[in-house]
Amino acid sequence: MRNSSLYPKLALQNIRNNRKFYLPYVLALLGDAAAIYIMSALVNDPGVRYMTPGRPNGYLYVEMFMSIGMVIAFIFSAVFVLYINGFLIKQRKKELGLYNILGMGKRHIAMVLVFETVYIAALGIGGGLLAGLLLHKLVSLMIHKVMGMPVPFGFSVSWSGMAQTALMFLLLLGVTLLCNLNKVRASKPIELLRGGSMGEREPKTRWLLTLLGIVTLGSGYYIALKAQSGVEAVMWYFVAVFLVIVGTYCLFTAVSIFVLKALRRNKKFYYQTGHFIGISGMLHRMKQNAVGLANICILCTMVMVMLSGTLSLYLGTAEILEQQYPGDFNIEVRYTLDLEEGETPFDPEAMRAVQTGFVESMGYQAKNVRTCGEVNFALGQFPDGSYTTDRFAENTTGGVASLSCITADGYTAMTGETLELHDGEIAAYGLEGDTLTIHWVVPEQGTDLGSSSYKIVHKLKENPYHSPMIMQMITIVVPDRETSETLWRLQADAYQSNSSSLIWSAYIDIARPDGTPVPAEELQTLSDAYQERSLEKSFFDGTGNWLICSQRLRSDGAEDAYGLAGGFLFLGIFLGFIFLMATVLMIYYKQISEGYEDKERFEIMQKVGLSRDEVRASIRSQVLMVFFLPIAVAAVHIVFDFNMVEKLLTLFYLHDTMLTMLCTAGTVLVFFAVYGAVYLLTARTYYKIVER
């Protein structure tokens, strides 16, 4: 064995002989390396930094999404490569054992494994970097198109990205090589010879693991269902995900065995040809199947959640913009009623006249002008359903609610609906019962300033005031401006220096003299002129005293909103594709593994008297059951996860439950179709092995 050229030749021959195993593995490695290089190149692409003058968030979005994607993709690649490597070394054990029997020592076998790893690294990492270089510009075009940003010119090579990607995967393949060498070192030749064909003993019912699976899965579902706000969903989301992942592994490793044994105890069901073969076969092999099935289930869930959530956000961007920026020109004034002697109160009508007058002075029409006054502040809740300004008092429930108050005229301006309200009456969203009671207490001091009660005469089905659902959202509509100002004075007395200001908003649609819409470029010119004019002392004459006056164009908000939503969608599609590729390969390897194990069973069952058609039917039903079990469980995960995803989307101002539901249902149906197509393709490989 002194011929040093023997090891690389044997390694190359081994890869050729086992190409049906290694080719998908190398392609997956190539795809992962290409994806990570592309994301790294986008972060470091000098053209991206200057792609949109005046829009610094553009580059930040690209950098943020691609950096997150790199971390997720590499962590996933590590798990996936280690999983596939475990399958490959198991299939190769008999071959390695034969080398050992024929005189090759473990040191020589180790040299063969080293050269195999070198070849795989050259093909996978080298091919991945080459593919990344070729696809970098195409992906750059796609992400900038989705995010609504101009495409940077030129082509660049990210040498740091290439070095970073190569180092990541060299370390990863080094870990797999060490694992393989350790398995060869610790195994005896006879174990290696039998390793690829050793069957599984019937697993025992593990009651503790079964109970753990039921408890963790149920707890994860409960947390997902009980989330009431976006912040609560953020706080508990990863806890729920962790519990569901643990529960999924327990479900497939322990609960499934419990169910199969329960079916076996049912004599009428069990002693039928199809059921007998299927249940006994699944029971004996469930130990090795369980982890693979759980991995496939979790990957399927991740793909569907990412795609449905990001698609909902992207398709709902127009509605989000309409809620955040109701007009082409949006004005917000913050003011207070606590005035110094001689100061003039803020005059909303005068401010409206100033804003519309400016638009008309620039040669445009101010159309569909809507104004709305608002007061908002936070409250704690008592167990009896009443609220207090002492939010963190010991006898409160611990939750914090955000109350927004608008007038009936403001509600009509925002929704087009008219509410008839009298003194002491309100319309409310987010409240139970027939009365709203607020106890005015100075926080920390505990000084009681009295209480106010309002009769709820209208329950609003939708929240007229849209904002990120960071806590329990309460919106009330009061009869007039005087009532809202009274509420403001009461909260100001309670919160003192921490009190909220009053808010007056105006939403103006702008048109040319002939009534046609104004392009975004002209609106930007108008906004620049507004900024200059607002610096003149006389511009706001007659409007009284106020704290802040800000102006924002809907077109500006659209650029940021579509950039953010488009980035999320692209990341969801990009990572979803990687996860889907891994799912397909896991299924492929699982089908091959099942095929080699079923081949001998297929022959034995025919020898004991079962017809070929009966054997094929029983194996087909077993394969179908095992194959579609992960996607069925993933669908259940999606159903329970829907509430939490919906609450997370409210942090981005998306409150359209029906849109989210349709996107989720459509994603699930499309994924089911893709999953079925994967089954048909991989099942052919399985049957070829079994019937050979």
Check whether 39 has a pLDDT greater than 80: no
Which residues share a beta bridge with 644? none
Over residues 535-539, mean pLDDT: 87
Check whether 299 has a pLDDT greater than 70: yes
DSSP 517: B
CA dist list (Å): 276 to 254, 262, 265, 417: 20, 13, 11, 65
Determine which helix (DSSP H) or strand (DSSP E) holds 187, and give its type and residue range.
none
Check whether 62 has a pLDDT greater than 70: no
CA dist list (Å): 559 to 54, 91, 148, 227: 11, 53, 7, 31
Rg of the chain over all Cα atoms, to the nearest angstrom: 33
Cβ-contact 640, 225 below 8 angstroms: yes
A 10 A CB-CB count for 426 gives: 22
Buried-exposed string 542-572: b where 16+ CB fall within 10 A, e elsewhere: ebbebeebebebbbbbbbebbbbbbbbbbbb
Cβ-contact 405, 425 below 8 angstroms: no
A 10 A CB-CB count for 436 gives: 20
Q: In this predicted model, what pLDDT tens digit does every residue of 462-490 receive, in sequence order?
A: 777 766 555 678 889 999 989 999 999 99
The region of weakest confidence among 437-441, 666-670, 682-686 is: 682-686
C-alpha to C-alpha distance for 375 and 485, rounded to whole angstroms: 8
Q: In this predicted model, what pLDDT tens digit does every residue of 103-122 receive, in sequence order?
A: 667 777 778 888 888 998 89
Look over the chain and give the mean of its residue pLDDT values, rounded to a whole number: 80
Check whether 426 has a pLDDT greater than 90: yes
Burial class (CB in 10 A: 0-12, 13-18, 19+), 219: middle
CA 99 to mean position of chain CA atoms: 48
C-alpha to C-alpha distance for 516 and 80, rounded to whole angstroms: 56
Q: In this predicted model, what pLDDT tens digit does every residue of 324-365 receive, in sequence order?
A: 788 889 999 999 988 888 889 999 999 999 999 999 999 999
Q: In this predicted model, what pLDDT tens digit does every residue of 485-527 receive, in sequence order?
A: 999 999 999 998 888 899 999 999 999 988 888 888 888 888 8
Contacts of residues 620-624 at CB distance under 8 Å and 24 or more positions apart, as own/partner, are 621/274, 621/278, 622/277, 622/278, 622/281, 622/282, 623/591, 623/594, 623/683, 623/686
C-alpha to C-alpha distance for 79 and 619, rounded to whole angstroms: 30
The region of weakest confidence among 7-16, 145-154, 395-404 is: 145-154
Over residues 210-216, mean pLDDT: 87
Query: Comparing 189 with 413, which gets the higher pLDDT?
Result: 413
A 10 A CB-CB count for 14 gives: 20
DSSP 608-632: TT--HHHHHHHHHHHHHHHHHHHHH
Sign of torsion over alpha carbons 579, 582, 584, 590: negative
Which pLDDT score, from 0 to 100, does residue 56 have?
46
Which residues share a beta bridge with 473? 402
What tokens were used for 155?
């082509």
What tokens were used for 472?
């329990």
- Determine what percent of the chain falls in helix, strand and coil, rounding each to the nearest 5: 65, 10, 20
Pick from 397, 419, 398: which is nearest to 409 by CA? 419
Which pLDDT score, from 0 to 100, does residue 405 have?
92
What tokens were used for 254?
């322990």
Sign of torsion over alpha carbons 155, 156, 157, 161: negative
Q: In this predicted model, what pLDDT tens digit does every residue of 623-677 receive, in sequence order?
A: 677 678 888 899 999 999 999 888 888 877 788 889 999 999 999 999 888 888 8
Over residues 550-556, mean pLDDT: 85
Pick from 284, 309, 472, 311: which is nearest to 378 by CA? 472
A 10 A CB-CB count for 621 gives: 14
Backbone dihedral angles phi then psi of residue 406, each to the nearest 5 degrees: -130, 160
Q: Which amino acid is at 108?
A: H
Cβ-contact 112, 10 below 8 angstroms: yes
C-alpha to C-alpha distance for 213 and 288, rounded to whole angstroms: 18
Name the band, by pLDDT with cuts 50, 70 and 90, for residue 53: very low
Cβ-contact 562, 317 below 8 angstroms: yes
**Which range, 84-98, 314-328, 358-372, 396-410, has the best average confidence (pLDDT)?**
358-372
Strands 472-478, 400-407: pairing is: parallel
Over residues 225-238, mean pLDDT: 81
Which pLDDT score, from 0 to 100, does residue 640 have?
93
Determine which helix (DSSP H) or strand (DSSP E) holds 337, and give its type and residue range.
none
A 10 A CB-CB count for 325 gives: 19
CA angle, 249 then 636 then 399, to 5°: 95
Which conformational region is residue 404 in: left (phi greater than 0), alpha (psi within -120 to 50 degrees), or beta?
beta
C-alpha to C-alpha distance for 460 and 481, rounded to whole angstroms: 20
C-alpha to C-alpha distance for 87 and 289, rounded to whole angstroms: 12
Pick from 334, 283, 660: which is nearest to 499 by CA? 334
Which pLDDT score, from 0 to 100, does residue 662 have?
93
What tokens were used for 409?
């005229």
Which residues share a beta bridge with 550? 332
Query: Comparing 302 with 186, which gets the higher pLDDT?
Result: 302
DSSP 411-424: HHHHHS------TT
Which residues share a beta bridge with 439? 388, 451
Which pLDDT score, from 0 to 100, does residue 189 have?
60
Which conformational region is residue 589 in: left (phi greater than 0), alpha (psi within -120 to 50 degrees), or beta?
alpha
Which pLDDT score, from 0 to 100, does residue 278 have?
65
Pick from 337, 354, 406, 352: which is nearest to 545 by CA? 337
CA dist list (Å): 500 to 229, 324, 485, 490, 495: 22, 20, 12, 11, 8
Strands 448-459, 435-441: pairing is: antiparallel
CA 397 to mean position of chain CA atoms: 30
Alpha helices per DSSP H over 187-329: 189-195, 207-226, 230-250, 256-265, 267-270, 273-315, 317-324
Q: In this predicted model, what pLDDT tens digit does every residue of 148-178 receive, in sequence order?
A: 666 555 567 778 888 888 898 898 888 888 8
C-alpha to C-alpha distance for 153 and 132, rounded to whole angstroms: 18
Determine which helix (DSSP H) or strand (DSSP E) holds 654, and give its type and residue range.
none
Percent of the chain whose pLDDT exceeds 70:
78
Query: Comparing 5 with 343, which gets the higher pLDDT?
Result: 343
Name the band, by pLDDT with cuts 50, 70 and 90, for residue 202: low
The region of weakest confidence among 7-21, 215-229, 357-371 is: 7-21
Cβ-contact 491, 389 below 8 angstroms: yes
Q: In this predicted model, what pLDDT tens digit does every residue of 659-673 receive, in sequence order?
A: 999 999 999 999 888
